[in-house]
Structure 1
């Protein structure tokens, strides 16, 4: 999955229609260039590629201010479907990397509260299974140490266990905050998470 793809679709969706400079400016305010490595060239490339894939449609070309013309895009129905698939996968699949989850968290308020909680609970189930597996592997390692496995190898299991424990604690906290009504979600009164009508 591509965090850039999800972020670009999400920002165009938020604005209803947007050109590359708007998408870039918005993502820079989120510091996405740092945590998702979203660069200006990748934004313009993603816009053109997704237009070719019919996820976005060209809606307007504005004269640029001292530079090239600005092409405005909006999501197609296919693009909306792709956005929903990408954000659901990024929220629920613990195998995806940090930038993908970060992109999904930055856009989670575009979805209904119950849906986000459900997707995060799916991630929790997977992480709980990983936590159990890490504990079993640590126990197995103790047996292997008696057979000559170097002691320092146990640090790998401590690392993996620590990452899983921290991820679980954060995720349980986020679910609790969402259940308590924190953050304005797409289905909350006055929320701005749904795309504008076409």
Structure 2
């Protein structure tokens, strides 16, 4: 999975139709260049590649002002399906990179509240297990390791604990009705824009 792929699909979906500059401007406003390393070249590459894969459709070409033509894109039905799969995987897969998880969190309002909570609970199980595994590594006296190696188990346990605490808080906030999700009245972000 690619954070750039998910983000580009998500932004095109959010606007209903969007051109590369619009996608770039939106993602820069989210600081995605910092947390997902989304660069202008990767955005345009993703648009072209996903068009070739029939995930995006070119719907309009406007002449550029002294530069390249401006191409507008929208999600195809296959693109909508790919978006849903990538978003669900980003929220639930413990193997997702930090950038992929961040991309999924930034787009989670596109899914119904109960779906997001369920997906996040799957990820929560992983962090709970990772925290316990780190604790067991610290307590294991049968492994003949140098004393300083125990710091790795403390680091891993700390990361898992912080992730578990944050995820538990996010689930609690979602259960309390925080954030407008796709199945909430008045949802704009979570639904594809009208054509």
Q: Structures share a fold, TM > 0.5? A: yes
Aligned residues: 194
TM-score, normalized by length of structure 1?
Answer: 0.95
CA distance in 1, matches of 2:64, 2:153: 55
The runs of 4+ residues in structure 1 deviating greater than 4 Å are: none
- SS of 2:71's equivalent in the other structure is strand
Aligned to 1:162: 158
Deviation at 1:197, TM superposition (A): 4.6
Partner Cα separation in structure 2 for residue 115 and residue 62 of structure 1: 39
The root-mean-square deviation of aligned C-alpha atoms, in Å, is 1.0
Structure 2 regions of 5+ residues with no counterpart?
none
Partner residue, 1:102 = 102
Q: Does 1:184 align with 2:180?
A: yes
Give, in whole Å, the separation in 2 of the partners of 1:87 and 1:65.
35
- SS of the residue aligned with 1:183? coil
* 1:116-135 map, 5 Å: 116-135=116-135
Q: How does 1:57-136 map to 2 (within 5 A)?
A: 57-136=57-136
TM-superposed CA distance for 1:196, in Å, is: 3.0
What is the SS of the residue equivalent to 2:158? helix
Residue 59 of structure 1 aligns to a residue whose secondary structure is strand
Following superposition, the deviation at residue 143 of structure 1 comes to 3.2
Q: Post-superposition shift, 1:54?
A: 0.3
User: SS at 1:171's partner residue?
Assistant: helix
Partner Cα distance (1:194, 1:157) in 2: 43
> TM-score, with normalisation over the residues of structure 2?
0.96
The range that moved more, 188-197 or 150-159, is: 188-197
Unpaired runs of at least 5, structure 1: none
Rounded to whole Å, the distance in 2 between the matches of 1:154 and 1:128 is 19
1:28-79: per-residue Cα shift (whole Å, max 9, x none)? 0000001000000000000000000000011000111231110111000100
